[in-house]
Amino acid sequence: MCRFPASLAMSHFYWSVLLSLWPLKQTIGTNSRAVPPPQEGARSAPAQCRCWLRRWRAAVAAEESGRAALRMEPLQNGGGSPEAAAASGPEEKRRWEPVPSWRRRRSSSGAGAEADSGAGPHPRERGGSVSRQRLDSLRKSRPLFPWFGLDIGGTLVKLVYFEPKDITAEEEEEEVENLKSIRKYLTSNVAYGSTGIRDVHLELKDLTLCGRKGNLHFIRFPTHDMPAFIQMGSEKHFSSLHTTLCATGGGAYKFEQDFRTMGDLQLCKLDELDCLIKGVLYIDSVGFNGHSECYYFENPTDCEKCQKLPFNLENPYPLLLVNIGSGVSILAVYSKDNYKRVTGTSLGGGTFFGLCCLLTGCSTFEEALEMASLGDSTKVDKLVRDIYGGDYERFGLPGWAVASSFGNMMSKEKRESVSKEDLARATLITITNNIGSIARMCALNENINRVVFVGNFLRINTISMRLLAYALDYWSKGQLKALFLEHEGYFGAVGAFLELLNSA
């Protein structure tokens, strides 16, 4: 079949130019000779052009009509007739419309040959191609290993590390020695030097992040060992794998220059409260290896009946989030992106540990808690019954309530009779009572009845958790519930880790 120009508009342009130039040609002619007038009864040249143009348009229309008829596909409903298609509705009718030529063109000769032969890619081949494209896109979008998140606090550094468990043979062959060395060092040890600890019991297994499956490890060490950590990273040539680390906490600012000069690394500094909330919501959403991340205490003051029970935090908002680290920050959280810092206090975990070091000579947080578990705070604190001889009934104060923390230490005789364990216990009760009192007032002011306590002050600190649970329940007459999370102080590091994945 004869092939005509593809663009009808361009063809119109050619004929229009030809017709417009005809009178000029009639006047000028060739070598300035006049063109003889047309014979009588013959058509003029412009008329002949218009005739040819009409014939050409008719031929194009006939060809397009024939092509459209060949392209018509039988419909699933309607027997394949145009009438049935019209009756099937506008959607089916559109399937009968001719496909414009520009939509049928192929971008390459190979594609055109494929179209002419009537062959196309097999559906499975197309699906595999799409899957490979998505996989390649995912690989490009995710950050390079290793994946870390850092929370550099005033007392402790918390580190979260993702260990991939789906490494292919090809990846393992291409993997550089530096990366293998770091992964082996972090996952094959539970202690690093004299102070670094991997909390194996908190490890989250079989997580899927950015298309990779693996385990999430939780590591901590004292902040004063940060220079040694940076030096270790330099020795393992970490900067050859990453140039930037995502970090939060005050130490992200304090140690920024050390990371740059000693480790050849830049720190992406993130807001610690943003990271805290993101970390809490994420860990609660994935759960704790099939168990609930959130829990509470029932009968907290009864050693025999006290139970640790799971709590479903599926609809968490609003909640009061009390983060007890070296100091304390209290946040009112109304949604994922809507929160405010209500208040805080300087009397936190750092205060407890510092006072215990002064009063008892202990050297570690674990030692201070062990001493507190063996002590009796009533020998140190002055109670309501020490003043009233019993309950202060008019204002509902029970005799066992603390009227004055360390109030008995004004007496020389009582100072001489107390033990270091008693002092450690009184210090713990003092700090915990103060935090609980502030949290209760904030919850009442914000009209929130769920209070979630997090932070490393609560690590292995059952005494404080049970005291907070009892105090909130007792003083609110059952209106407030104290909730706790298994990963206590790691949520800021988790939030920084998530930011690394989101920024890729």
Do 463 and 337 have their domain in common? yes
245: left (phi over 0), alpha (psi -120 to 50) or beta: beta
Do 212 and 233 have their domain in common? yes
3-state secondary structure 354-413: HHHHHHHCCCCHHHHHHHHHHCCHHHCCEEHHHHHCCCEHHHCECCCCEEECCHHHHCHH
pLDDT in tens, 182-224: 899 999 999 998 899 999 999 999 999 999 999 999 999 999 9
Q: Into how many domains does the chain fold?
A: 4
pLDDT-based confidence at 64, cuts 50/70/90?
low
Do 203 and 302 have their domain in common? no
Residue 10 falls within a domain, yes or no?
yes
Across the range 318-322, mean pLDDT stands at 97
Model pLDDT, residue 204: 98
User: CA 286, CA 162: separation in Å to the nearest integer?
Assistant: 15
pLDDT-based confidence at 241, cuts 50/70/90?
confident
Tokens representing 35?
A: 């063109």
Residue 276 falls within a domain, yes or no?
yes
Which amino acid would we find at residue 238? F
Which amino acid would we find at residue 112? G
Q: What percent of the chain has pLDDT over 90?
A: 61
Residue 115 falls within a domain, yes or no?
no
Q: What percent of the chain has pLDDT over 70?
A: 72
Do 274 and 397 have their domain in common? no
Model pLDDT, residue 242: 83
Residue 107 falls within a domain, yes or no?
no
Do 224 and 160 have their domain in common? yes
Do 301 and 254 have their domain in common? no
Domain holding 208: CATH number?
Answer: 3.30.420.510
Model pLDDT, residue 136: 54
Domain holding 341: CATH number?
Answer: 3.30.420.40
Model pLDDT, residue 137: 55
Model pLDDT, residue 172: 83
Residue 114 falls within a domain, yes or no?
no
Containing structural domain, residue 436: 294-375+420-485
Model pLDDT, residue 92: 41
Do 315 and 193 have their domain in common? no
Write the DSSP assignment of 275-340 as a string of letters: HHHHHHHHHHHH-BTTB-SEEEEESTT-TTT-EEEE---SS--SEEEEEESSSEEEEEEEETTEEE
Per DSSP, 175 falls in state -
Do 256 and 192 have their domain in common? yes
Expressed in percent and rounded to 5, the helix, strand and coil fractions of the chain are 50, 20, 30
Do 233 and 341 have their domain in common? no
Residues annotated catalytic, as ranges: 272
pLDDT in tens, 260-293: 999 899 999 999 999 999 999 999 999 999 999 9
Higher pLDDT, 65 or 499: 499
